[in-house]
Chains A and B, each alone.
Chain A
Amino acid sequence: MTAVRCVDLCKTYRQGDQDIKALDHVSVEIEEGGFVCLSAPSGGGKTTLLNAIGGLDIPDSGEVWVAEQRIDQMSKGELADLRLANIGFVFQAYNLIPVLTAQENVEFVMQVQGVPATQRREQSLAILEEVGLQGLEDRRPAEMSGGQQQRVAVARAIVSRPALVLADEPTANLDSKTADELMALFTELNRHHNTTFILATHDQRVMRYAKRLIRMLDGRIVDDIEQDAA
């Protein structure tokens, strides 16, 4: 079954007097349970593609299908519901809520989903242990290192077991040991829960874990290869 399908996506940004083609007739199909890395130099279009797949940004033309639903024509509310129910995001800049503790940040999405308090607590503690943050549950983002914050962000993204996880440079601020642990966790989730992962990165370590590597340049897909994951 197809988890994500993009058909002839175009997206142009205006920067000063120049039009920048962030997506230039991009078509791609990703199967459920896929583990895909989008690789591109800065400005290559990987984040724009990731945002289009997550319904965070609307393409100028083309179609985006997620979980067999066309999302590029959805309203803001429908997109929010789709993200809440199906998609987990990991951002490069952690993007945690500064006034909430690690555990509260992880619980936040579940609270919005309407998960009962006891279940929320159990799941959040379990996932924080899984990402190696046991004992740091009550710390706020400002009291944690970059790596710890990124792991909270990852825990938040995967705690409610979304079908699709979109990660933008998830290891950018992690040391190699933590990055490997994180990728191992992603791989395990991918294998055992059939979670689809799409990672935008230019980190070679991350690319080794991917089953499929899509290279982009100037908003176009220039290479799309299957590979043996690490």
Chain B
Amino acid sequence: MNIVLRLAWRNLWRQPRRTWLTTGAMVFSNVLLVFMISIQFGMYGLMIDNTLQIFTGHMQVQAKGFKDDQKMRQTVPDVIPLASRLREEFQTETIAARGMAFGLASSEKRSFGIGIYGVEPQFEPRVSSIPGLISDGRYLLDDDAAEIVIGSVLARNLRTSKGNELTLLGSGKDGSFAAAVVTIIGIFESGVPDIDRNIAHIPLRLFQDVFYMDGSGHQVVVMTSSLGDAERLHPDISAALPVDEDLVVHDWDALQPGLKQAIQADMSSAFFMYGILVILVAFSVLNTQLMSVLERTHEFGIVMSLGLKPGRLGRLVMLETAMMGAMGMILGAVLGAIFTYWFTVNGLSIPGMEEMAAMFNLPARIYPQVTVLSTITGPSVVFLFTLLAAVYPALRLHRLHPVEAMRVN
């Protein structure tokens, strides 16, 4: 090993207790950072997946302008053949057509305004988790049967149940009066009150008939295996759309801006806390290295008199810090990953957080997501700040004069 490296390494162990205490602080903060960041990634992944699976999908093909101003007449023409063609072209079943309208749902006793979605019964289960959340009855089977599936809260509000009829009233695409009588064949329970209160599914062909859609719809929903896949597929889907229609593809973050904002806000507050933790560790390193430099003033005087420049001495101090930081980084990242992995397998439940978790569409038990990024991000930042903390002690060496330094005992 190079003598300078040996010197730096041995210098670290002159005061082993101090070195271990400082390294221990780094390891502790790194384990904490790996754990917290992994929990965050896990939560964000769950939030995104759960939200997108329920309803939105990873992407949607829509008429231009429909996202911001959902008018009935802003349609995707021939929506069923388009969805079919995309499924064929991209060799996937996870693409489905939808139509949507706002209307009044009336039972014998009550009426409520709801969102009525026309769906392809065969393909909707591939893009949405609602068909799998039926708690009573079954999901839609026929393409044009006069059947409806509603949420549990809506059923309770309408004081109705499976097997009863509902009357739907609304406006058609052409502005005319639209009405239908449908039978409740299933009730779903997603756990998200807003969805369970406001959404109903009917077969898309029935929807097109009732609302005079003339073969059109409002969305082609695309579900992919991951967010990364969605990003890669986006340009291909855009390219596959008919050129003469004014259609656009929207990503999940455009469709669910609130979700992205919630994640960003959560990240900002979390990173502020992480920043405080990292700064505390940096000050601990600064203290250690400053003491280490001060108590070696005499020795630095010697090596300067032998011909070592202050810059090289500074680099020696930086090297010592880098070694200590690397120990903290590696130990922290490895221990953090092992510790967090246990929770990745077994899950983490925080008592009393169930309600809050439900608000964000999260399960009561959280599974941290240990990835390379979640494992190295925190420790790398700590390492960087550790090095920054050593800059001041290293710079102090430039002010040192050999004779004066050698006089210090």
Contacts and interface: CB of A to CB of B under 8 A. Distances in A.
A161 interface: no
Interface stretch (B7-15, B122-130, B205-213): B7-15
Of B2, B305, B312, the most chain A CB neighbours within 10 A belong to B305
A16 to B, nearest CB: 16
Contacts of B3: 100, 104, 107-108, 111
A109 B310 contact: no
Interface string B295-317: 00001001111111111100000
Interface string B1-36: 011101100110010000000000000000000000
Contacts of A95: 302, 305, 406
Interface stretch (A1-9, A75-83, A144-152): A75-83
Contacts of B401: 56-57
A59 to B, nearest CB: 12
A184 interface: no
Contacts of A56: 305, 401-403
Contacts of A156: 306
A96 B303 CA distance: 9
Contact of A76 (B4, B309, B406): B309
A91 B302 contact: yes
Nearest to B298: A95
Nearest to A76: B310
Interface residues on A, range: 20 to 34
Contacts of B309: 76-77, 80-81
A108 B306 contact: yes
A81 B303 contact: no
Contacts of A225: none
Q: Is the interface of B mostly helix, strand, loop or mixed?
A: helix
A41 interface: no
A80 B309 CA distance: 6
Contacts of B4: 111
A189 interface: no
A136 interface: no
Interface residues of B, number: 25
Of the listed residues B7, B309, B406, the one surrounded by the most CB atoms of chain A closer than 10 A to its CB is B309
Contact of A98 (B299, B307, B308, B403): B299
Nearest to B404: A57
B311 to A, nearest CB: 8
Given A57-B403, A91-B302, A99-B14, A111 B2 contact: yes
Given A56-B402, A57-B403, A104-B3, A97 B307 contact: no
A76 B304 CA distance: 10
A197 interface: no
A99 B8 CA distance: 9
Nearest to A104: B3
Contacts of A97: 7, 299, 302-303
Interface string A70-89: 00000011001111110101
Contact of A100 (B10, B304, B306, B312): B10
B306 A89 contact: yes
Nearest to A58: B401
21 contacts: A56-B305, A56-B401, A76-B309, A76-B310, A77-B310, A80-B304, A80-B307, A80-B309, A81-B309, A83-B306, A84-B307, A91-B302, A91-B406, A97-B7, A99-B14, A104-B3, A108-B3, A108-B306, A112-B307, A112-B308, A113-B307
Given A80-B308, A89-B305, 5 more contacts: A91-B302, A98-B299, A108-B7, A108-B303, A108-B306
Interface of B: 2-4, 6-7, 10-11, 14, 299, 302-312, 398, 401-403, 406
